[in-house]
Amino acid sequence: MSIDEHERSTQPDAPDQFQQLWKAYDVKLQHSLKLNQRLLEEVRSRKVRTSFNWQIGFKVMVIVLGIGWNILLGSLLWTFRSNPVFVVSAGLIILFTSYCIAGYFLQMLLMLQINLSKSILATQRQLAQLEAVIVWTLRVSFLQAPVWPFLFVPKTLPAGVAPLYWGIEGVVVLLLLLAVVWLYRRITVAGASRGWVKKMVDNEGGKSIARARAFIKEIAEYQREEVAAAH
Amino acid sequence: MTDKNHNELIFLQLIRDNKGILYKICQLYCRNAGDREDLMQEMICQLWRSGQQFDANYKFSTWMYRIALNVAISFYRKETRSGVRVSPGGDLRLMELEDKSPDNEDLEEKIDLLQVFISELGELDKALMILYLEERPYREIAEILGITETNVATKLSRIKGRLKQQFLKANKLFL
Contact B137 A50 (CB under 8 A): no
Does B54 lie at the interface with A, CB-CB under 8 angstroms?
yes
pLDDT at position A1: 44
Name which of B28, B42, B74 to mutate to probe chain A: the one with the most chain A Cβ atoms within 10 A of its Cβ: B74
Residue A206 scores a pLDDT above 70: no
- Inter-helix orientation angle A120-143/B138-145, to 10°: 10
Residue B157 scores a pLDDT above 90: yes
pLDDT one-digit tens code per residue, B40-73: 888 888 888 887 777 777 778 888 899 999 999 8
pLDDT at position A37: 72
- Report the alpha-carbon distance of residue B157 to residue A18 in Å, rounded: 12
Contact B111 A127 (CB under 8 A): no
B61 Cβ neighbours under 8 A, 6+ residues apart: A3, A4, A7, B136, B140
pLDDT one-digit tens code per residue, A37-79: 777 777 766 554 445 677 788 899 999 999 999 999 999 999 9
Of A25, A30, A5, the closest CA to residue B135 belongs to A5
Query: What confidence tier does B133 reach under pLDDT thresholds 50, 70, 90?
Result: very high
Residue A93 scores a pLDDT above 90: yes
pLDDT at position A67: 97
Query: What confidence tier does A5 reach under pLDDT thresholds 50, 70, 90?
Result: very low
- Report the alpha-carbon distance of residue A44 to residue A23 in Å, rounded: 29
Contact A29 B82 (CB under 8 A): no
Residue A24 scores a pLDDT above 50: yes
Q: How far is CA B47 from CA A1, A86, A171, B19, B121, in A?
A: 14, 53, 55, 12, 25
Lowest pLDDT segment from A188-202, B27-41, B161-175: A188-202
Residues of chain A with pLDDT > 70: what percent?
A: 70
Residues in A touching B20 (Cβ below 8 Å): 26, 29-30, 33
pLDDT at position A77: 92
Nearest-Cα distance to chain B for A100, in Å, is: 26
- Report the alpha-carbon distance of residue B101 to residue B86 in Å, rounded: 28
- Average pLDDT of chain A is 78
Query: What confidence tier does A132 reach under pLDDT thresholds 50, 70, 90?
Result: confident
Residues of chain B with pLDDT > 70: what percent?
A: 80
Can you say whether the dihedral through the CA atoms of B162, B167, B168, B174 is positive or negative?
Answer: negative
Contact A32 B163 (CB under 8 A): no
Does A224 lie at the interface with B, CB-CB under 8 angstroms?
no
pLDDT at position B90: 41
Query: What confidence tier does A7 reach under pLDDT thresholds 50, 70, 90?
Result: very low
Write the DSSP symbol of residue A153: -
Contact B148 A229 (CB under 8 A): yes
Does B63 lie at the interface with A, CB-CB under 8 angstroms?
yes
Contact A18 B143 (CB under 8 A): no
Contact A214 B42 (CB under 8 A): no
Contact A207 B135 (CB under 8 A): no
pLDDT at position B32: 81
Does B9 lie at the interface with A, CB-CB under 8 angstroms?
no
> What would the mean pLDDT of A141-164 be, rounded to a whole number?
83
Smallest CA–CA distance from A48 into chain B, residue = B45
- Inter-helix orientation angle B149-169/B105-119, to 10°: 120
Residue B82 scores a pLDDT above 50: no
Nearest-Cα distance to chain A for B101, in Å, is: 10
Neighbours of A183 (CB within 10 A): 17
> What would the mean pLDDT of A18-43 be, rounded to a whole number?
81
Contact A10 B53 (CB under 8 A): no
> What would the mean pLDDT of B95-108 be, rounded to a whole number?
70
- Report the alpha-carbon distance of residue A121 to residue B52 in Å, rounded: 22
Does B131 lie at the interface with A, CB-CB under 8 angstroms?
no
Pairwise pLDDT comparison (A201 vs A175), residue with the higher score: A175
Is ipTM strictly over 0.85? Answer: no
pLDDT at position B87: 42
B95 three-state secondary structure: strand
The terminus-to-terminus CA distance of chain B in angstroms comes to 55
> What would the mean pLDDT of B131-145 be, rounded to a whole number?
93
Residues in A touching B136 (Cβ below 8 Å): 7-8, 11
Smallest CA–CA distance from B113 into chain A, residue = A21
Write the DSSP symbol of residue B165: H
Residue B79 scores a pLDDT above 90: no
